[in-house]
Structure 1
Amino acid sequence: MARKKKGRAVSGWVVIDKPAGITSTSVVNKVKWAFDAQKAGHAGTLDPAATGVLAVALGEATKTVPYITDALKCYRFMVTLGAATTTDDAEGEVIETRDTRPDDAAIEAALGAFRGNIQQVPPQYSAVKVEGERAYDLAREGVEMDLAARPLWVERLEVISRTDADHVELEMVCGKGGYVRSIARDLGQALGCLGHVQWLRRVWSGPFDADKGIGLETLDALAKSDAIDVHLQPLELGLADLPEVKATPEGAARLRNGTPGMVIGHDIAYGDEVWASYQGKPLAVGSYRAGELHPTRVFNLD
């Protein structure tokens, strides 16, 4: 006999405006506890020192996490010029300094190389796995690694302000897998002055905005109360980048069983990935094929 899961079968998204000084995993655990949820996950880790959007999925919404992970994200960050650190941010030890400082025109010119499709080497202190171990664990042991470059799409990267000769504030919109610390490190190297991230904030991630997120104080104050559900956003927000189709009654019955079912959609091409709804509720995600949805994920929201 299957063991009954602890907690509520609650499904949806909770947008947290993460403060500095706490890990993403700790935030997820707090959200799960506060909502008394059976299951929780998040779409995109933020470093402990970083702030901003941390989108936490509860219940069936965890099945939509990959779509938010793949969505564009916006980061605002301050680069300190003139010093490189072990972690490529202000948390690490300074390992080299230089006195030269670029002017504004030089910074603008250098940013062009960091837009579009670029190759980016992750920081030594990152969650990248090296022969089964996390890079940050090896780095703490003093191991220097030759990490492979990874592709990254940078849609936008621009200067927001230049507060003084040592600091430049930037904003970047990028795809999945971007390391802001690598941008700061590589920009500093390109400018010949070195650099690292002073502070970092994720402004938005896919459909989720930091200014609409809740703080941990609010989460704690409403924990395990009926009032907390007002901060639960619909599961289908995680599917915002996919077209929606409507399941027929017969199609809905088949889709609930994980088999192809009839749907109605407009301007959908054969093979497109779509999500189906029935009676206003998300039902499944899958491939559209000549009036049918072939499901890859089915949502149990009953």
Structure 2
Amino acid sequence: MTMTDENGAPTEGAREAGGREFAPRPKKRDVHGWVVLDKPVGMTSTHAVSVVKRAFSAKKAGHAGTLDPLASGLLPIALGEATKTVPFVMDGRKAYQFTVAWGSQTDTDDTEGKVVATSEARPQEDAILALLPRFTGTIQQVPPKFSAIKIAGERAYDLARDGEEVTLEARPVEITSLRIVSHSPETTTFEAECGKGTYVRAIARDLGLALGCLGHVAHLRRTRVGPFAVDDAVSVETLREGAEAAATALRPVATALSLIPEIVIHRDAALRLKRGQSILLRGRDAPVEAQAVYTTCGGVLIATGSIEQGEFVPHRVFNL
């Protein structure tokens, strides 16, 4: 029988039936900031958030863009007030290194799916290089059937797993750069930089089809997300070393906003923003119009918002 105090909480040294002692759960606390996790292969994004949340005993956490279990690399995770800045990270550019295995196409466009077609052909490096300009700039891309895109309220991957026919429309995506890192007869490794909504698996699939040899992603690693790069990342093992090691991985909330302009304001203006009120920006160099900016006062993040006719309109106010 478990012993409890007058509030119903387990007492120190409480034991379960059978005499096994257990430790009380740590109290959840308010933690604000970003952790850039180097997610290992095999871990889901949801599990990764749980690992970070547990490491900090944080009340609130969320990630900035799903990374498939097959993939490794950067998964920025927001804690507390940092969750208000997630859209700025998700809208940022991303970079990947990925390897395409030639000679087969799968229904998931990666190694987790079943092979749906094969080819004996293998591409020459010159043929791939000649094709790359078609895959850079703003292009039309059909997302993989096994993706999180919704069709009539259902996720495409759920429909595909149930055996239903999934038809997705092509949509514009931006691929800033795509280059070859290494090449062999069976595989080619690429580096790509792209905008929001681009599927690397679709790049591999479409390259294989265009080359006439078919292909799918064999390895995938994300190396940049918005303002975060590999040098910012921390491993799961480090987070599990203890609270002190985890604390060194926590980055300020405003780190996510480093790619948009900052406006320094005085205390009275900060108090107005804290109440959700707009403020007039004064000074000869004050911007008149801007879609996304943030304000600070004494080095503390106050709000994100837009500038309309010289007035800062708060969209998100922070409690830091």
Q: TM-score range by the shorter chain?
A: over 0.9
1:155-170 correspondence runs (5 A): 155-162=176-183, 164-170=184-190
Q: Aligned residue for 1:261?
A: 279
Contact 2:101 2:216 in 1 (8 A): yes
Contact 2:100 2:204 in 1 (8 A): yes
- Note the C-alpha offset of 1:262: 4.3
Q: Aligned residue for 1:93?
A: 114
Deviation string 1:139-170 (CA, Å, 9 cap, x unpaired) is 111112111112211100111110x2110000
Contact 2:238 2:245 in 1 (8 A): no
Q: Aligned residue for 2:55?
A: 34
Q: Aligned residue for 1:232?
A: 250
Q: Aligned residue for 1:53?
A: 74
CA distance in 1, matches of 2:246, 2:178: 37
1:97-246 correspondence runs (5 A): 97-162=118-183, 164-222=184-242, 225-246=243-264
Whichever of the two has the greater Rg, that structure is 2
Q: Which amino acid in structure 2 is aligned with residue 111 of structure 1?
A: L
- Note the C-alpha offset of 1:269: 3.7
Q: Which amino acid in structure 1 is aligned with residue 203 of structure 2?
A: I
Aligned residues: 293
CA distance in 2, matches of 1:291, 1:249: 19
After superposition, the CA RMSD in angstroms is 1.5
- Note the C-alpha offset of 1:208: 1.1
Percent sequence identity over aligned pairs: 50
Q: Which amino acid in structure 1 is aligned with residue 77 of structure 2?
A: V
Q: Aligned residue for 1:277?
A: 296
CA distance in 1, matches of 2:290, 2:231: 36
Q: Which amino acid in structure 2 is aligned with residue 294 of structure 1?
A: V
- Note the C-alpha offset of 1:185: 0.3
Runs of 4+ in 1 over 3 A off after TM superposition: 262-267, 289-292
Q: In the alignment, is residue 299 of structure 1 matched against residue 318 of structure 2?
A: yes
CA distance in 2, matches of 1:297, 1:44: 20
Q: In the alignment, is residue 252 of structure 1 matched against residue 270 of structure 2?
A: yes
Contact 1:250 1:262 in 2 (8 A): no
CA distance in 1, matches of 2:132, 2:213: 14
Contact 1:14 1:231 in 2 (8 A): yes
Q: Which amino acid in structure 1 is aligned with residue 246 of structure 2?
A: I
Gaps of 5+ in 2: 1-26
Gaps of 5+ in 1: 1-5
